[in-house]
Amino acid sequence: MALEAGVLLVNGIDRIALAMLLDRYGLQMSWVAPGEEIPGSYWGEREAGLIGERIFLRPDTPLHSVLHEASHFICMSAERRTGLDTDAGGDHAEENGVCYLQIVLADELPGMGRERMLHDMDAWGYTFRLGSARAWFTEDADDARRWLIERGLMLANGRPTFLCR
């Protein structure tokens, strides 16, 4: 398992499983050579990039970054997806939905799963009111969960619908 800074990297998982998950949402993986700049990356360095329906990544891109950007694509309106280039935008409620959905989607990938995602979000520095991703997800994310369900992105049982907003 490829780890750096305590987080799981793309080169540490089944890339076919990742491609198949992204494809369910109409997203395509676009590989960037090691050391090259990642197009569409909001944060730069090795973080995933998003332009249109393409997620740009390198082998050293953290998996949480790929699922976060994919969740932005899934959660944004169709109108915003049309002109998507780097900055996914959205309001606070949508960002919470994005973070919640990336945790849910982690369960769809062998070798990742929800617990690993929660760990990686904390290790990378995501910040939540209750101090950890796990505490937020289990105790403070009812609004994010409702947001996803109301938009048809997640079922009441917590499973993704594999639909975009």
pLDDT, tens only, 94-111: 999 999 999 999 999 999
In terms of Cα–Cα distance, which of 154, 114, 149 is closest to 134?
114
pLDDT tens, residue by residue, 23-68: 999 999 999 999 999 999 987 789 999 999 999 999 999 999 999 9
Residue 163 resides in a domain = no
Average pLDDT taken over every residue of the chain: 93
Residue 82 resides in a domain = yes
Domain extent, residue 34, equals: 3-150
Whether 3 shows a pLDDT value over 80: the answer reads no
Domain count, the chain: 1
What is the pLDDT at residue 44? 77
3-class SS of residue 42: coil
Residue 155 resides in a domain = no
What is the pLDDT at residue 12? 93
The CB-side HSE value for 92 (13 A sphere, CA atoms) comes to 3
Instruction: Supply the pTM of this predicted model.
Output: 0.93
Residue 51 resides in a domain = yes
Confidence of residue 89 (pLDDT cuts 50, 70, 90): confident
| Helix, strand, coil in percent for the chain, rounding step 5 | 45, 15, 45
Residue 160 resides in a domain = no
Residue 145 resides in a domain = yes
Q: Facing residues of 62 across strands? A: 9
- According to DSSP, residue 41 is labeled B
Q: Is the pLDDT higher at 43 or at 21?
A: 21
pLDDT tens, residue by residue, 113-158: 999 999 999 988 777 777 899 999 999 999 999 999 999 999 999 9
| Whole-angstrom distance, CA of residue 143 vs CA of residue 125 | 22
Burial, 42: exposed, middle or buried (Cβ in 10 Å; 0-12, 13-18, 19+)?
middle
What is the pLDDT at residue 124? 83
Q: What percent of the chain has pLDDT over 90?
A: 84
